[in-house]
Chain A
Amino acid sequence: MKLRHCSILFAALLLVGAAPQPDTNASFPAAARNALPNGVVIVSAPLADSPIAGAQVFVPAGLMQQPAGLAGIAALTASVVLRTPVERGASLTDLAANAGGSATYTVDPESTRFYIESRAADLPRLVRDLASAIANPDPAQIPMARAELVDQVSETAKSPVQVAYGMVRQVRYLGTGFAFPDGGRASTLSRMAAADVQRFAERYRHGNGTVVAILGAVSDNNVAAIGSAFSAWPAGAGAPAPQPAAVTRQSQVISHRNVESTWLALGYGAPSQFSKDFPAMLVIEALLGRGGDIHALSFGSAGAAMDAFVGTFYQYEARPGTFVIFLNGDSATITQAMSEMEAGVARLRGANLPADLLLRAKRLAIGDYLMSDSTLSDATWLLGRSAMSPDGLSFESELPARIAAVSAADVKRVAKQYLARETVAVVLPVAENR
C-alpha cells in the first residue's frame, strides 16, 4: 500500500498484442493458525531457507480510535513503547539494534503494528520485551518521543502529496481520529500527558483483535514462546473503531504551501480489503493507477499521455476505504488533467470495459498484488491480514483467483458505487491565490 509513481505504462499496455488470460498460480508459504484462550491469534509460517525471522504484532487500536483532541496519540504511544526500558535499562529498539535486528512501529487506520526482525533465537525474547513495554510504557520517554514526532510532523507538512491526502481524509473520515494527520499536530502533541499514553496503550491489550504473524526461521518452540508473551492479556475486544460521517456531496478543500506548482488530489470512496468488491477495485486501481494515460479509460479514443498524472493511492485498510488520484502541474495542465480524469471515471461508471483491456488490467492487478510481497515484513503483514480476514488463511492465496474472476460488469458496478461524490483537495503555491 504505497504511493506509486506512474509514467507511461498504460500506453505500453495498449500497444502489445492480445492479452493472455491472467495467471493466478502463486505460492505462499504454508501457515498455521493458533488462537490463545484470550483470543490472541498466533499465525506462523516457518521457512526452511530463511536464516532470520520476523514477527508482526497487530494490536487493536490505531488512528481511527484516537480521541478528539488527541491527534497523534497513536504514534506517540507506539513510540513511547519502543523507547521504554525493558532489559537492564535498554529499550526494545536498542536491544534489537544491538543484536543486528530492528523494532519498528506503524500506525494503521484500525491498528498499530509493531514489527520485529532478528535472528530466530532472539525473536521470542524481543517479543516478550514488547509485551512488557506495552504493559508499562515509561512516561519518562514522552518528551523525547514527542520531540521526534514534532520533527516528523513538520517534515510531512512539507510534502504536497501528504498535505493533499490529509485534506481528503479530513473530509472523508470526519468524526474519527483518522481525519487527523498521522503524527498529530504540534499543538495537540504538546498537551498529551502520561495518562493519555497509558490509556491508549491499554486499548492495545485486548485478546480479540491482537494478531501475531511470524515468518522465517522459526521452530514450534519459538512460536509457542512468542505466543506466551500475550497469554496474560485480558480476553475480549476493545472499543470498535468509530464510523465516519457519510460523505453525501462533492467538496473541495484548498491549501497553500511552498510548492512550485499545484498539486491536486481527487478522493473517492472505495471498498475496504475484506469487502467482496475489493478485487474489482484492485482492477480499477491497475487501470487508473498504473496507467498515467487517461486514454486507457477512453475505450479506444486516442490522445497524448498526461504528464501531470502522478499516481493513485488506494487506502483499503480503513473502513470505508478511500481511493485517491494525485495530479501535479501548472494551472492549465492540471485543469485539463482533472477534467480528463473525471471523464474517464465517468466512462468506467457508464459502460463495460472491452474484454482485452479488462484482461490486461486483471493481469496487472495480480502482478501488482504479488509484487507487494517481497520482504519478511511484507510477508508477515499479509499473513496477519489473512488471519484477520473472514476468509482465514486462504485469503492471500485466493486473492489472485478472485481478481481473475472480476467481470466487466463488476468493474462498472463498483465504479458506479464508489467513484462518486469526489473530494477535491488542492495544494496551491503560496504565491497563487487560486
Chain B
Amino acid sequence: MLKSLLLAPVAALLAATLSSSALALPLAPNETQLSDGLTVAARHATASPTVALEAWIICPSNGYDGAKPGIARLTGLSIASTKVAGASLRDLVRLEGGQISVSIFPGSTEIAIVAPAYAADRLADALVARVFHPTVDAAGFRDAKLRMAEQQLLASGNPALLLRDAVFNTLFVNGPFHASPFGTSSSLKAMTGADVQTFAGQAYQPGNAIVVAVGSVDEQAFLRRIASAAPPAGSVPAFPASAQTSPPAQPTMNGFADTAGVALGWVGPAVDDERASTAMDFISDYLTRPSYGLVAKALHTSNPAIEFSGQFITLRGAGVFYMSASADKLPVQLTADAMRAAMKPLLDGPLPGAEFARALDAFRTHTLRDAQTPQELADNYGWYFAQGAPAYTPSAIDPALSGDYFKRAAALTPDLIFRTAKTYLAGAPATVTVAPRPTSQTTTGDMPPQRVLTRGGSIR
C-alpha cells in the first residue's frame, strides 16, 4: 500500500540531479583544498579541552546503483570496527576516553570522533588512514552487521525517525533521498564484505571528502599533518539523482511505532539559493525551535506529552522542511491541523517590524548557541561541504559575523520571509503517519545517536 501511494504521482517528477563534485567551490575561512582534492577544515576553539575530528564522505546511502539500502551504514560501521595492527578506530578512540559515531545521511557519511585535545594528532592520523585506505576484515564486518541490526531494531520503534524517513520517502520518488539511511533487514542480511569493500573503494576518495578538526588544535600543524598523510586522488562514480514528486493528497500510513505520530513535509529551496535557504532557516527557527517556535509551543500547550521536532534541512538539490509529532493516543488529524494552524502568522503576511527584528536577533543567537561545541562546529563544516556549499557554513563565525551565512541572515526582511513561506509552505504538504503497535511491545535501550545539526539538519 505504501509503495503504490508513493508511486502514483510519478507524472509530476521534477528532475533534481544531485551532483557530488565539490571541486573549485568557494571555501569558508579555515578551509583548504589539497592537491589530491581532499578538503580540510581546521579551526582553533578555546572553550573546551576537547577536539572534534570528522571525516565526511559524499556518497549515497543505498549505493551507486540504488540496489543496496544501508550499504553506506554498513561500510562506515565496518571501517570503524576493523582492526589494523590489533586495534580498531573504535578501540583507539575509546582508549582515550573519547567517543566515535558513524552517522549516515541519504547523501553523505560522517565518521566523527570527539576526544581530549591531546589525542588529536594520533587520532587524526588513524582517522585519515582508516578512511582513505579503507580495509574491512571479517571480524569488523561481523561487528558492523550486529551494530546495524541493533540500530535498525531501535529505529523501527522510534516514531520521529520513522516519520522523518517517511517524509523523504514521500517527497522523493527514487534515489538515495527516497531510501531510508537505515536500510532494510533483508538488505543487511544480503550484503557481503566484498560489497562493503567495493563501496568503500568507490566512495572514500579524497576529492569526495572533507576532514575537519575543531577544538584545542593548532590549525597550521593540523593542516600540514593531513597534507603529509594525504592519499592519492581517485575517481568517484556519479552521484545518483533523486527525483521529486508531488505528495499524495491523502495522508500516507507508514506502519507501526512505539507511539502514534504524524509528520508534514514540504520541498524547499536548494542550497545554492542561499537567500531563500537562510529565510527557510529563519522560518524553521520561528516555527519549530523547542520551547520557542510557534508550532512547538502550540503543541506543547495542547499536550505537554507530545514529542515534537521540526527542521529545515539544507540540501544540494532541494531542501526539505518537516515537522513531526508523536505521543500515546495522538489524534493524528487534529495534530496535523494544529501544526498548520500555528504556521499561519508567517503565511498571512509579513511579520510586524518590531517582532521581525526581535525574531531575527533570536535566530542569530540560536544559530550561534547551536554552534558552540567543537562537534557542532565541525558538523556544520562537514554538512555544508557535503551539500556543495562549504563557504555558506554557519560555522564560519567571526566577531563581526562576516561569513556568508550571517551576511545572508542580516539581509533577511519581513517581506522576504513572507514570500519564502508563501512559495514553499503554502501548498499541501506530504502528510505521513505511524500508528502505535497493536501489542504492548515497547522498544528499550539506547537509540542510535541523534544529533541535530545547527542549520543543515540531521538524517541519521
Q: Which residues of A contact B (CB under 8 A)?
A: 5, 9, 12-13, 15-17, 19, 23, 25-29, 47-52, 97-102, 117-119, 148, 151, 215-216, 260, 286, 290, 360, 363-371, 373-376, 378-379
Contacts and interface: CB of A to CB of B under 8 A. Distances in A.
A376 B372 contact: yes
A73 B431 CA distance: 44
Interface stretch (B14-22, B42-50, B239-247): B42-50
Nearest to A101: B365
27 contacts: A5-B446, A13-B94, A17-B87, A27-B49, A27-B117, A29-B47, A47-B46, A49-B45, A50-B46, A50-B47, A51-B397, A52-B369, A99-B361, A99-B365, A101-B369, A151-B304, A216-B47, A363-B96, A363-B97, A365-B97, A366-B116, A367-B96, A370-B116, A370-B117, A373-B49, A378-B48, A379-B48
B142 interface: no
Contacts of A290: 94, 97
A374 B99 CA distance: 13
A369 B116 CA distance: 9
A374 B117 contact: no
Interface string B115-141: 111110000000000000000000000
A373 B50 contact: yes
A12 B90 contact: yes
Across the A-B interface, the 5 shortest Cβ-Cβ residue pairs: A367-B97, A100-B365, A100-B362, A26-B49, A12-B91
B148 to A, nearest CB: 15
A344 B72 CA distance: 40
A28 B372 CA distance: 16
Interface string B425-460: 000000000000000001010100000000000000
B49 A370 contact: yes
Given A12-B95, A29-B46, A51-B401, A374 B374 contact: yes
Contact of A15 (B45, B50, B91): B91
B87 A371 contact: no
A273 to B, nearest CB: 18
A14 B6 CA distance: 50
A174 B225 CA distance: 56
Given A151-B304, A371-B114, A371-B115, A12 B291 contact: no
Contact of A17 (B86, B114, B117, B361): B86
A28 B292 contact: no
Contact of B362 (A19, A98, A370): A98
B224 interface: no
Given A52-B369, A117-B369, A366-B97, 14 more contacts: A12-B88, A12-B90, A16-B87, A26-B49, A29-B46, A98-B362, A102-B369, A260-B444, A286-B97, A364-B94, A366-B116, A373-B50, A375-B48, A376-B47
- Between A117, A370, A373, the greatest number of chain B beta carbons within 10 A of the residue's beta carbon is seen for A370
A19 B115 CA distance: 17
B358 interface: yes
A100 B361 contact: yes
B92 interface: yes
A408 to B, nearest CB: 19
B393 interface: no
Contacts of B45: 49
A99 B401 CA distance: 18
Contacts of B365: 52, 99-101, 118-119
Contacts of B304: 148, 151
B364 A100 contact: yes
Interface in B154-177: none
Contacts of A19: 95
Contacts of A366: 97, 116
B63 to A, nearest CB: 28
Nearest to B91: A12
Interface residues of B, number: 48
A281 to B, nearest CB: 16
Contacts of A151: 304
B47 A47 contact: yes
B95 A97 contact: no
B116 A371 contact: yes
A379 B118 CA distance: 18
Given A9-B94, A51-B368, A367 B115 contact: yes
Nearest to A19: B95
Interface in B398-422: 399, 401
Interface in B36-58: 44-50
Given A12-B88, A26-B49, A26-B116, A97 B368 contact: no
B90 A100 contact: no
Nearest to A30: B46
B375 interface: yes
A370 B95 contact: no
Contacts of A379: 47-48
A360 B50 CA distance: 19
A249 B118 CA distance: 44
Given A16-B92, A17-B86, A151-B304, A26 B373 contact: no
A15 B139 CA distance: 14
B98 interface: yes
A215 B47 contact: yes
B82 interface: no
B92 to A, nearest CB: 7
Contacts of B94: 9, 12-13, 290, 364
Nearest to A5: B446
Contacts of B87: 12, 15-17
A428 to B, nearest CB: 16
A16 B91 contact: yes
